[in-house]
Structure 1
Amino acid sequence: MRLYSLFVFALIVASCGSKKNHSNNFLIDSTYTKYAKGFRVSYKENITQVEVMKPYQGSEEVLTYWLIDAATEIPAHDSHIKIIRTPIKSIVCTSTTHIPLLDYLNESAALVGFPTTDYISSEKMRMRIDSGYVIDLGVDKGLNIEKLAALSPDVVMAYTMTGDYGQFKSIEDLGTPVVINAEYLEEHPLGRAEWIKYMALFFDKKIMADSVFFAIEQNYLQIKHKVDSLTNPKPTVMSGIVYGDAWFMPAGQNYAAKLLRDAGFNYLWSDDSTAGYLQLPFELVYDKANMAEYWIGVGSFKSLGEIGTSDNRYTKFNAYQSGKVYTYNARIGATGGSEFLELGYLRPDIILQDLVMIAHPHLFTEPSLYFHKQLN
């Protein structure tokens, strides 16, 4: 919708917050999302059309779902369009990031299956798992499809890093529709959080999702405003660790890099123009970041001693020597899952507050980190 002619058309109808999709006469709801770029919603009669604009990195494919209530007859449609009867009552999810979406929509009871349930940290969902209401379906990329079929969920919410839909097609061949959640591709922290509105569509809970997201957005922006008013120099920060032969760290336009900038850090790779992850030689990282004041994001390391033992070169960094090294794994679930990796997408405001408390503790009267903790 970036073509000039369509932009002009959008201005004409902006007063009603939507515009016509001429290809199928659906009315696009241009106000449904504010930050998320990965999906859009449009309407025609009793049909809600949901389009996932980029199901995986580099994809030009658009996935289309029609959400139709049980009382409405399914109209003629193209074969690529998937029909979902809503509101759904049961769901199988494949990523822990989907779990908070259910919890915050008061739909925890809808989850009936999940691959490797030990990864789930949510206390509410762990109670359901322990009570036998959520079935472990095996390893993510090798789901027990027969066991899944026996659960007969209304929908499977999945994600994919590639265009290989083989496993999903096998699930659909057994009668269960699969919908793709591509939240991880959003570059803005609030864009990832806004995917709660995507989940809400399948439960007919748009109003609730809007309310939840609004509270998260306002908290994020209020915290950021505190930082924006500061005039003192920004502390320098590095991130990532070595895997194999390369140091992996967030690229300059990556989601994590934006959080660091919004928190008032000077992320040393902010001038990089890419949005993925950088793979750099150790020597290059050391030359640029050896005097960085903070080191945030150190994988699964649990102590400074463990970091130094794994590679003595780490101990030469100023942040290591001053003890200003922070992990995001302060909260681990009862069976070992990371609460940060589960809840972080939905609650970037909590991540931001943590980071601001680290960079500018004077802005808070009683600093208390949630996801992060200082290693010793």
Structure 2
Amino acid sequence: MRLYDVIRKYLLPIVALVGAVLFVAACGEQRVGLGEFSQKVYAPRYAVGFEIVGAEGHASTILLSHNPWQGAEDVQTALFIAREGEQPPAGFTGQVLRERAERIVCMSSTHVALLDAVGAVQSVVGVSGIDFVTNEYVAANRDKVRDVGYDNSVDYEMVVALDPDVVLLYGVTGASVMESKLRELGIPFAYIGEYVEEVPLGKTEWMVAIGEIVGRRAEAEQLFNQIPERYDALREMAAAAATPKPKVMINTPYADSWFMASATSYVARLIADAGGDYIYKKNTLNSS
């Protein structure tokens, strides 16, 4: 058999088959544009600091955090939660979490409480200031849950050793000091800005965002949906109580300063809903 006939009979079909496989693979890896992630997966009823979006035909979602610290304006951070092997959309520059978080470092004790609320507190492997975390699971598992430090004293070797799927951050008057180092280490992070919410139910609704991170959003939604009616019943009970309303002051002096929550904060709203009179009404900004 001539060489030409051998090539035509055996080699060309193989080349065509390989080309077809590569073409199909390339099509399968084609990434959607960021603009396609505009479908509302979860639109909060009370919270204004987060939303969850997705794209038609895709299992992955993006958790968006809006103005996640005091004084923030037009700040948005994003966590892409990749599912079923999907890749982040073209043009996405935020953080990426694969599937769901099963190992989490919490930089605020409220993050621990939210994880506990959605039944995922066992995912906590690290906290900031363990002596100030009043959670039963953390207290009973100090051999498993490690203290990673705080502010400029974070033990990054400890953070790396804990091998977290995600670190939950918060900012005070700006981005967390941990952000740049976590980027350098390749450890995903997400901002949980529940404390900036102006109404207590908005703060509580962040359990849905936490549920999305740990793969328990449906359960978190179901739990949260039971809360507003009970809360409103208690608020109405307090409103019907005898007057005058008790005057309420919060916090204690720290480093020659006395930090008072804004009159528009969830703390002030919580006091009012409980039938109290918050005495510090001068500050109406979104910062203490």
Q: Same fold (TM over 0.5)?
A: yes
Counterpart CA distance in 2 for 1:251 and 1:137 is 30
Q: Secondary structure at the match of 2:125?
A: strand
Q: Secondary structure at the match of 1:66?
A: strand
Between the two proteins, the alignment pairs up a number of residues equal to 252
- Residue of 143, 152, 157 corresponding to 1:141: 152
Counterpart CA distance in 2 for 1:135 and 1:243 is 27
Q: How does 1:327-366 map to 2 (within 5 A)?
A: none
Name the CA shift for 1:206/1:228 in 2 (closer, same or farther; >3 Å): same
Counterpart CA distance in 2 for 1:158 and 1:185 is 13
Alignment root-mean-square deviation, CA: 2.5
- Greater Cα offset, 221-230 or 111-120: 221-230
- Residue of 174, 191, 194 corresponding to 1:163: 174
- Greater Cα offset, 194-203 or 75-84: 75-84
In 2, are the aligned partners of 1:46 and 1:72 still within 8 Å (CA)?
A: no
TM, length-normalised to structure 2: 0.78
- The one-letter code of the counterpart of 1:104 is A
Gaps of 5+ in 2: 1-32
In 1, are the aligned partners of 2:88 and 2:96 still within 8 Å (CA)?
A: no
Q: Secondary structure at the match of 1:160?
A: coil
Counterpart CA distance in 2 for 1:142 and 1:244 is 19
1:5-64 deviation line (CA, Å, top 9, x unaligned)? xxxxxxxxxxxxxxxxx9712244275311110111111122211111112223222112
Q: How does 1:79-228 map to 2 (within 5 A)?
A: 79-129=92-142, 132-228=143-239
Q: How does 1:277-288 map to 2 (within 5 A)?
A: 277=288
- Residue of 249, 255, 266 corresponding to 2:266: 255
Counterpart CA distance in 2 for 1:43 and 1:262 is 35
Look up the match of 1:62: 76
Is residue 2:249 matched to residue 1:239? Answer: yes
In 2, are the aligned partners of 1:47 and 1:66 still within 8 Å (CA)?
A: yes
- The one-letter code of the counterpart of 1:195 is W
Name the CA shift for 1:276/1:73 in 2 (closer, same or farther; >3 Å): closer
Counterpart CA distance in 2 for 1:152 and 1:228 is 48
The CA deviation at 1:82 is 1.8
Counterpart CA distance in 2 for 1:201 and 1:109 is 16
In 2, are the aligned partners of 1:252 and 1:271 still within 8 Å (CA)?
A: yes
Name the CA shift for 1:247/1:28 in 2 (closer, same or farther; >3 Å): same
TM, length-normalised to structure 1: 0.61
Counterpart CA distance in 2 for 1:105 and 1:192 is 14
Larger Rg: 2
1:92-137 deviation line (CA, Å, top 9, x unaligned)? 11111111112122212211112221111111221111xx111222
Q: Secondary structure at the match of 1:74?
A: coil
Q: Secondary structure at the match of 2:236?
A: helix
Name the CA shift for 1:168/1:274 in 2 (closer, same or farther; >3 Å): closer
Name the CA shift for 1:271/1:28 in 2 (closer, same or farther; >3 Å): farther
Gaps of 5+ in 1: 1-21, 278-376
Name the CA shift for 1:97/1:229 in 2 (closer, same or farther; >3 Å): same
Name the CA shift for 1:125/1:76 in 2 (closer, same or farther; >3 Å): same
In 2, are the aligned partners of 1:48 and 1:66 still within 8 Å (CA)?
A: yes
- The one-letter code of the counterpart of 1:32 is A
1:221-267 deviation line (CA, Å, top 9, x unaligned)? 1101223445x433241414556776654443232221222122344
Name the CA shift for 1:178/1:268 in 2 (closer, same or farther; >3 Å): closer
Name the CA shift for 1:180/1:249 in 2 (closer, same or farther; >3 Å): closer
In 2, are the aligned partners of 1:92 and 1:112 still within 8 Å (CA)?
A: yes
Name the CA shift for 1:106/1:265 in 2 (closer, same or farther; >3 Å): closer
